[in-house]
Each structure stands twice: as C-alpha cells, then as structure tokens.
Amino acid sequence: MEFPLSAELAARVVALDETDSTNDDLVALATAGTVPEFTVVVTTRQTAGRGRLGRAWVAPPGTSLAASVLLHPRDAGVPLERYGWIPLVAG
C-alpha cells in the first residue's frame, strides 16, 4: 500500500496490510517515542478495532480504510474541554 501524496499532509505514514487496531498500533509507536506528531497508521483490513462505547470497528477486506492520526492538541493550545470536537472535525 502506497500513498505518494501523503508527505504533504503527514509526518509519517505507516501502511499495514492488516492489523487488529490502528489505534493500538499508533499508541505503541507513540509510547515508544519513535514517531512525530501527524503520524498516520492506515490499513484496509482492521480485525479488532473499537469505536465509541466499545462498539466494534471492523469491515470486510477491501471495503474500508481505517486510519489513526497522532495529534498533540495541548501543544497547539487546545483547551481540554474542546478535545471532544477533534473526532467530529476529522470526520
């Protein structure tokens, strides 16, 4: 999987053929301190993703694109009470 225009928007793109959860992968990378802000983990097959309220976030292969983006809103001066808007703005 390649995303040639991604360098214009993302610091780094980690493209996986399959993963349990793009969020879990991104958390692991961020915890290890190996990726900058605006790193994106993307896959076309997510097998154990989670949505709001613990709902499953999975789809058959080739029917969706799952992505997680590493943001540091505190560094941008975003007040804590506005964090809830981030998923809505992201779509």
DSSP 44-84: S-BSS-B-GGG-B----TTS--EEEE---TTTTT--GGGTT
Question: For position 18, what pLDDT does the model report?
Answer: 93
Domain 9-90, second-level architecture: 2-Layer Sandwich (3.30)
pTM greater than 0.95? no
Q: What is the spatial distance between Cα 20 and Cα 50, in angstroms, rounded to a whole number? A: 10
Average pLDDT over residues 49-65: 83
Q: Give the model's confidence band at 60: pLDDT under 50 very low, under 70 low, under 90 confident, else very high.
A: confident
Q: Is the pLDDT of residue 9 over 90?
A: no
pLDDT above 90 coverage of the chain, percent: 32
- Average pLDDT score over residue span 41-52: 88
